[in-house]
Structure 1
């Protein structure tokens, strides 16, 4: 008797490098975002295979809010390693506060202290860590450029977290990963939606800027920080903090929850 093999299940959509489970999850994310306020850019990156999924808004310029603080930390560590600056114990406490609770006062102090005479030191350096589309925005602060008024893309945040995980010396990488994995409870949303089994870590950002609220998250999930995720939700006046927080958190939940 000849048996006909069962047909191989087709994947939900083509996504080179991602298995069918992930492709199904990606399709669920796309469907979910169609029903959510504003526009949301997403970049999912498999650090082992190199596979990347970007949605149609991954290249949209969006207010960075506090996600730029992760880039500031990378830059401060890099400049100290290169002998350009010397970080004090107080500086390192401020860095920890930026990563743990997204402390704005800490960011203000470190930005003004190390932005240089022309205020451009950070903005000159951040493209080297992946934030190649970063654009400071004029007309919102007397001190220009200022960390709180800048725009970048989800692609920029994807490249930044990739830099953290692959280009920093082991001690700096370990420190940042540890801080991102142990953020304050009020920061446990966004990529944190992956769930505890995924051992997530994140740097979130949120603000009400010109045009409405933005809610952003960038981080990692999975064994050995295998997967990175960057999500930027530009609500465009169609919703606020609660809606944005729900959106970016559920994206991570759809992609990762139950996977590990």
Structure 2
């Protein structure tokens, strides 16, 4: 996990924050940020349908909306921008999938997610930042865990990701969260958890949430909504 205090500029890390792990749906925050940045620069134009897809992708992590936005606004080329513009230098496609490269076949590091959150809060255009912050604060119940566990008094917002993966670690759940908490979005938080094989999605969600909650004085177990395996 990586926590940055934007007031002091200090960053605290725990665990192997440079180790690559599956991004799951946290990559959707990078997609949204990139699309808004390019639209503001006049490189692309967004239709009403595109904007609705942005809303649902961030709100309840809509997979179909994410697929449409991925195909409409650059596909594979987006990853180079995420690395160069957002500082997600460890971001890469995982080879070996029969249907090629895709937003769901990606790994990054916890530091990468921290850099992404820092970009959103400090370098996005004010209107885009306001949109992203509001969207992350207004997520549907299936994303009300992770940084959300900081509690209502800290006005948290997050983009969570959860997926069941098969790799050299075994068959296992991945539970990730990236977001902010505190007055004026003071604290940036990113956590990636590669759950032990044979453990559960509920265990992963509660573990990540309790870690985030304890940072902000919320007793464990934090009150959260555990996402269902299919979203």
Alignment of 1:200-211 (within 5 A): 200-210=156-166, 211=170
Aligned match for 2:69, one of 98, 107, 110: 110
Q: Match of 1:163?
A: 119
Do the aligned partners of 1:214 and 1:234 also contact (CA within 8 Å) in 2? yes
Q: Match of 2:176?
A: 216
Report which of the two structures shows the higher radius of gyration computed on alpha carbons.
1
Do the aligned partners of 1:195 and 1:257 also contact (CA within 8 Å) in 2? no
Alignment of 1:233-252 (within 5 A): 233-252=193-212
Query: How many residues are treated as equivalent by the alignment?
Result: 214
1:192 counterpart = 2:151: no
Q: CA deviation at 1:140?
A: 2.3
SS state at 1:216 partner: strand
Do the aligned partners of 2:76 and 2:102 also contact (CA within 8 Å) in 1? no
**Any stretches of 5+ residues in structure 1 without a counterpart?**
1-41
Aligned match for 1:90, one of 26, 49, 56: 49
Q: Match of 2:229?
A: none
Tell me the distance in 2 between the aligned counterparts of 1:169 and 1:141. Answer: 38
Tell me the distance in 1 between the aligned counterparts of 2:5 and 2:98. Answer: 38
Tell me the distance in 1 between the aligned counterparts of 2:13 and 2:21. Answer: 15
Q: TM-score, normalised by structure 2?
A: 0.89
Tell me the distance in 2 between the aligned counterparts of 1:224 and 1:170. Answer: 13
Do the aligned partners of 1:64 and 1:216 also contact (CA within 8 Å) in 2? yes
Q: CA deviation at 1:85?
A: 1.2
Tell me the distance in 2 between the aligned counterparts of 1:67 and 1:239. Answer: 21
Q: TM-score, normalised by structure 1?
A: 0.80
Tell me the distance in 2 between the aligned counterparts of 1:106 and 1:191. Answer: 23
Q: Match of 1:229?
A: 189
Q: CA deviation at 1:141?
A: 4.7
- Alignment RMSD, CA only? 1.4
Deviations 1:147-184 (A, max 9, x none): 11100011000000000000001000000000000100
SS state at 1:217 partner: strand
Q: CA deviation at 1:82?
A: 2.1
Deviates more, 1:230-239 or 1:182-191: 230-239
Alignment of 1:62-81 (within 5 A): 62-81=21-40
Do the aligned partners of 1:193 and 1:257 also contact (CA within 8 Å) in 2? no
Tell me the distance in 1 between the aligned counterparts of 2:79 and 2:218. Answer: 39
**Any stretches of 5+ residues in structure 2 without a counterpart?**
220-231
